[in-house]
Amino acid sequence: MAKRTRSEETKNPTIKARELPKVATGIAGLDDVLHGGFPAGRTTLVSGGPGTGKTIVGMEFLYRSAVNGEPGIFVTFEERAEALRKNTLSLGWDLAPLEKDGKFFLFGAHVDPQAAISGDFNVKGLLAIVEGKAKSMGAKRIVIDAVDVLMRIFDDPVRERNELYALHDWLNDHEMTVVLTVKTSAGGDIMPRYEFLDYMADCVIQLDQRVIEQVLTRRMRVIKYRGSSYIHKEHPFIITDNGVNIIPVSTVELQHKALGPKVSTGHHRLDTMLDGGYRRASCVLLSGTPGTGKTTLANTFVAAACERGEKVLYINFEESGEAMVSGMLSAGIDLRPALRDGKLRLMTAAPEAMGAEEHLFQALRAIEAFQPDHVVLEAMSSCNRMGTKQAAYEYLIRLVNACKEEGLMMILTNQTAGFKNENEITGMDMSSIIDTVIFLRLIDIGGEINRMLMILKSRGQKSSNQYREFLITDKGIDVLDVYVGGGGVLTGAARQEQEAKEVLDARRKRLEIELREHNIKRKRAEMEAEIARRKAELETAEAELKALQLDEGLVQEGRDIRGRMRDEDANSLRLKKRVLPRKERGTRLKEGTK
């Protein structure tokens, strides 16, 4: 981060660079804020309450100048030179060799508090020393720390003012680039008697430190910069073992990398749902209520990415690294090889441990040092404990932006209470920078809790918009289709039950059909049998009839024969035989046959 901002400064010559010569401050981020650096040959005033870092700002400016071969003079009225050397050494800045080489001069200028005062005087002694030293060292840079302490000897605001103007003019005449520090009251306002310093100086920087919800927060702001543009905002800054780090609140347009190629989520079904996987340089949000499997889903990706040889930085505000690794083991995800091979780096901290700026700085430094391909942050919701909601928001926005600028993929997890809109899922309005949202939830059906997963949003790729059942087994995660029949989405035992019921129903139906078919067949068989029987009956009847007829025919024939024979006999006797019944019948029969 520090290196980056400094190199950026050299890369893009600042807007007003031609109009006003500037001197690089050597302080991470400050050149960005000042659009180049301190005004060369002029006075910069750094004001702030006790402990806000004024001395360190001045010291870092001169130290880095000296290291780069540019000599400087540091005059302190407040601290003893020896104490200051020691403090400086604790930041890793060793002044001794620089002092020996004549690149740095530390002047512990003590005003004897017991000195008697008789008549008028001025600060010519100081000027003589500074001039003498500057000449012998060739120094053009000077820091005058706690100038208010020197001015106290005048014990008169008007004289203080005159002397400061004289000092200022003298320094300007000598074309010294000056950083003047002055204490302000605790409230952050410059003391009324030093207000004129704001007018006198060409560039005024105010440092401030506040405790917001038990977290120390440092801010800096440029009040004015004569003849130059600068970023008109309050910038968070931190003091680390590496010096002052200002994190400029950028006003320039975002320089995000375009979304890159697909990268597997670590599970084939999820890849399918996302049309191939997550995308590089995207920001993925895994959101859900506690216990929905956010960590497991994130680590499914982590394990897969590390196995492919990609590097992952895992920032965890929720649990210790050890706890997470063992927790994942029970879900069948073994992170140990990735840790052993240095593919996975865990960064755990309590959100309350430091301010949001410090957290941001640590994260950015880890990204710069580790050069990961992906960053996981667990969890957005815990960032609120860094202080204010605003601080958490800034932390997240800037971390995500930094990842996007570097082309890293980022997974954020977030714990939510409900889900109605995206803001509720993210907990804050971050929708513009989140590319993919996977929503996890628990549902309670049939006295059983089951996990569900849904892709709410996925920028730049097709995705399934259906709920899936999300299982965490001892062999990792699984994503299953859910029952989407008439009764809505069903999962777990309810789904199984439903599925079993359907199988049974189907079998029952099949059986019924078979039964009916069988019945029909049987009925047809019965019918056919009946037909056959009836046919047989009919045939029998016909046969009987025939037989009868045949019999009858034979009888008749016999009769006919006999009749003919009788007729022939009786023709002569017809009248006589008519009354006889046998004769009658015989006659009728004879008539019927006719």
Partner 1 sequence: MNRSERKAKSKGTEAQGETYILRLFMADNESNSRQALENLERLQETHLKMPHKKEIVDVLEDFQMALENNVLVTPCLILASPLPKVTVFGNLSDTEKVLAALRLT
Binding residues vs partner 1 (CB under 8 A) = 107, 109-112, 114-126, 128-129, 131-133, 150, 153
Question: What's the token pair of residue 225?
Answer: 């910069």
Question: How far is the C-alpha of 373 from the C-alpha of 406, rounded, in Å?
Answer: 9
Closest Cα to residue 41, out of 132, 134, 129?
134
The nearest distance, CB 151 to partner 1, in angstroms, is 11
Q: Which is nearer to partner 1, 106 or 312 (CB)?
A: 106
Angle at 79 between CA 78 and CA 82, to 5 degrees: 155
Question: How far is the C-alpha of 22 from the C-alpha of 212, rounded, in Å?
Answer: 35
Burial 321-355 (b: 16+ CB within 10 A, else e): beebbeebeebebebeebbeeebbbbbbeebeebb
Largest CA distance in the chain: 205
Question: How far is the C-alpha of 375 from the C-alpha of 360, rounded, in Å?
Answer: 13
Q: Which is nearer to partner 1, 162 or 465 (CB)?
A: 162
Q: Which is nearer to partner 1, 131 or 318 (CB)?
A: 131
Q: Which is nearer to partner 1, 114 or 473 (CB)?
A: 114
The nearest distance, CB 115 to partner 1, in angstroms, is 4
Q: Are 40 and 176 in contact (CB under 8 A)?
A: no
The nearest distance, CB 254 to partner 1, in angstroms, is 51
Q: Of all helices (H) and strands (E), which one includes residue 88?
A: helix 81-90
Q: Which is nearer to partner 1, 110 or 457 (CB)?
A: 110
The nearest distance, CB 191 to partner 1, in angstroms, is 21
Q: Which is nearer to partner 1, 119 or 581 (CB)?
A: 119
Q: Which is nearer to partner 1, 113 or 447 (CB)?
A: 113
Angle at 544 between CA 541 and CA 546, to 5 degrees: 110
The nearest distance, CB 66 to partner 1, in angstroms, is 19
The nearest distance, CB 33 to partner 1, in angstroms, is 33
The nearest distance, CB 113 to partner 1, in angstroms, is 9
Contacts of 336 (CB under 8 A, 6+ apart): 325
Question: How far is the C-alpha of 273 from the C-alpha of 262, rounded, in Å?
Answer: 12
Residue whose pair of structure tokens reads 């508090």 in the numeric block: 113
Amino acid at 228: S
The three-state secondary structure class of 447 is: coil
Q: Which is nearer to partner 1, 123 or 270 (CB)?
A: 123
Closest Cα to residue 176, out of 44, 48, 55?
44
The nearest distance, CB 132 to partner 1, in angstroms, is 3
